[in-house]
Structure 1
Amino acid sequence: MATMFHHLSVDYRFENKIAVITLQRPQVRNALNAQLIQELTEVFTQLSVDEQLHGVILTGEGKAFCAGADINMMQEAISYTAAQNVEDALRLSDMLHAINTFPCPVIARVNGDTLGGGIGLIAVCDIVIAADNARMAFSEVKLGIAPAVISPYVLRKIGENMARVLFVTGERFSAARAHEIGLVHAVVPLEHLDDAVSRAVNELISGGPQAIRACKALALQVGQMNTENSRRYTAETIAHLRTSPEGQEGLRAFLEKRPPHFTVSSHGSKEK
């Protein structure tokens, strides 16, 4: 990737099948400022065209995952007009949308505390694995504001019932509680975090890359369709996959009791 980023890094692993995006503002606990928000939007937009990717890992450098909004950004917002505040919020919304709709799965490696907008980041990830020492909070209410922009994504994870408690109190809660309410999928000791992430990655890279993307699209879209649209969409999806080179290889491998050999051509099509 040719683009140079100041507040994040991009690394490729597992034969370039996985990209690792690391927030690199440890001195402010990886807090979100305007530049980091822009860089996250750009990096996920750029990576979205990489057909070889089976997934992306999003994590933070240092002891925190993301402490929410940067203090300097909050200070600037005090002097913004209503229109400027809308534009500022829309940029955050665009970043969350870029991650939420990213074609293949995004794994949040939650290495520490996650507050406010940081919870928005994990809410738009597909697989969330957290260290057991991580603490979380929708801390906006303590500042006289609300978790407005992140709320659509958070509500899909934790539901109205838990949001009505956690949004209004701003109370801190543990990774274990985050797991109980559906915000986090797995909680492990910090020293086992990389092992847990690696297990999730190994599951991803054992699947067909186009099938993985189709599965994510199903999870995102089918629940919002009416009966007829979902009937047509799901039938067309499975028909396309069954007749694709990737699907043909996967089905043959299953019948022949051997591992499938999924590859990606230079044009993104699947070949045996």
Structure 2
Amino acid sequence: MSEQNGAVNLTIENGIGTIEFYHPKGNSLPGAVLRKLAETITSTGENNDIRVVVIKSRGEGAFCAGASFDELIAIEDYPAGKKFFMGFALVLNAMRTCSKLIIVRVHGKTVGGGVGIAAAGDYTFAKKDASIKLSELALGIGPFVVGPAVERKIGKSAFSALSIDAANWYNSKWALDNGLFNKVFDETEELDQAVLELANQLSKSSPEAMRDLKAVLWKGSEDWDLLLEQRAEISGRLVLSDFTKDFIKKFKTKS
């Protein structure tokens, strides 16, 4: 995968597996990046040299701009639509089933699938300017695939607010108060220090105890393989609508 098309890299140091994803367009998530990210997360769960996982994105701008509009507008049939949204399902299920605890570092604004990644983290740190938005309904799709992860973390009421108010950003304090973020920091240096401190702490903890804790934390999500596939089918159908195609064309013309 060339860097122009995005990248996913894994580094391992002192029992900490750090996964960094990147795309030149705001760390957006095209299908190839999604599948590589899912594969990499799964591999960390199978690697005995890794005790804890950190997921982050590159740069100082957006943490994640969500789905790739270039790929969305290129989808021409239902199988292609389902396949694209299954990429998000694969990432969330990889995070859910990974035997290692996962820390997510959110350094900037995040949209759609990026909110799903933040929600699927077992512990999520963020920077103060890390506002969030579930913009899918505005596109004519709806946050169907990421919905179970976000609702699990923040509850139905807050998830409803984010889902319905799809045009507006919600700030990091809202995300913190509603449980999406566990801690928020003013400066990048403070954020990185907190991530490192918790990762180091967990790297020295009992792998068996952390594995069993993860299973307890995710109890009730055992049906997600089927559930998220069903949600991908909904999104794969809706993305073909004239409403969605017209919205994306207008958005790309403005940007």
Q: Secondary structure at the match of 1:9?
A: strand
Structure 1 consecutive aligned stretches of length 4 or more whose deviation exceeds 3 Å: 3-6
Partner of residue 67 from structure 1, selected from 65, 68, 81? 65
2:140 aligned partner, one-letter code: G
Match of 2:22 in 1: 24
Match of 1:12 in 2: 12
The 1-side partners of 2:30 and 2:151 are apart by 24
Partner of residue 177 from structure 2, selected from 151, 156, 180? 180
Match of 2:33 in 1: 36
- Native 8 Å contact 2:16 2:200 kept in 1: no
1:197 lines up with 2:192 in the alignment? no
What count of residue pairs does the alignment treat as equivalent? 217
The 1-side partners of 2:126 and 2:64 are apart by 12
Match of 1:145 in 2: 141
Highest CA radius of gyration, 1 or 2?
A: 1
- Native 8 Å contact 1:53 1:209 kept in 2: no
Q: Secondary structure at the match of 2:143?
A: coil
TM superposition score normalised by structure 2: 0.80
1:40 aligned partner, one-letter code: L
- Native 8 Å contact 2:22 2:57 kept in 1: yes
The 2-side partners of 1:9 and 1:82 are apart by 31
Stretches of structure 2 that go unaligned for 5 or more consecutive residues are: 223-255
**Percent of aligned positions with the same letter in both sequences?**
28
Cα RMSD (Å): 1.9
The 2-side partners of 1:9 and 1:71 are apart by 23
1:155 aligned partner, one-letter code: E
1:214 aligned partner, one-letter code: D
The 1-side partners of 2:112 and 2:221 are apart by 27
Stretches of structure 1 that go unaligned for 5 or more consecutive residues are: 226-272
The 1-side partners of 2:39 and 2:66 are apart by 19
Higher normalized contact order (CA 8 Å, seq sep 6+, divided by chain length): 2
How has the CA–CA distance of structure 1 residues 4 and 141 changed in structure 2, closer, same or farther, with 3 Å as cutoff? closer
TM superposition score normalised by structure 1: 0.75
Note the 1:90-101 alignment, pairs <5 A. Answer: 90-101=86-97
Residues 37-92 of structure 1, C-alpha deviations (whole Å, 9 max, x = no match): 11011111222211232211111111221110112112113x2x223322322232
Q: Secondary structure at the match of 1:172?
A: coil
Q: Secondary structure at the match of 1:173?
A: coil
1:34 aligned partner, one-letter code: G
1:100 aligned partner, one-letter code: R
The 1-side partners of 2:147 and 2:21 are apart by 22
Q: Secondary structure at the match of 1:48?
A: helix
The 2-side partners of 1:32 and 1:190 are apart by 26
Residues 134-154 of structure 1, C-alpha deviations (whole Å, 9 max, x = no match): 111001122122010000111
The 1-side partners of 2:208 and 2:29 are apart by 32
The 2-side partners of 1:95 and 1:28 are apart by 19
1:152 aligned partner, one-letter code: P
The 2-side partners of 1:164 and 1:124 are apart by 17
**TM superposition shift of 1:224:** 7.1
Match of 2:80 in 1: 84
Partner of residue 46 from structure 2, selected from 38, 45, 49? 49
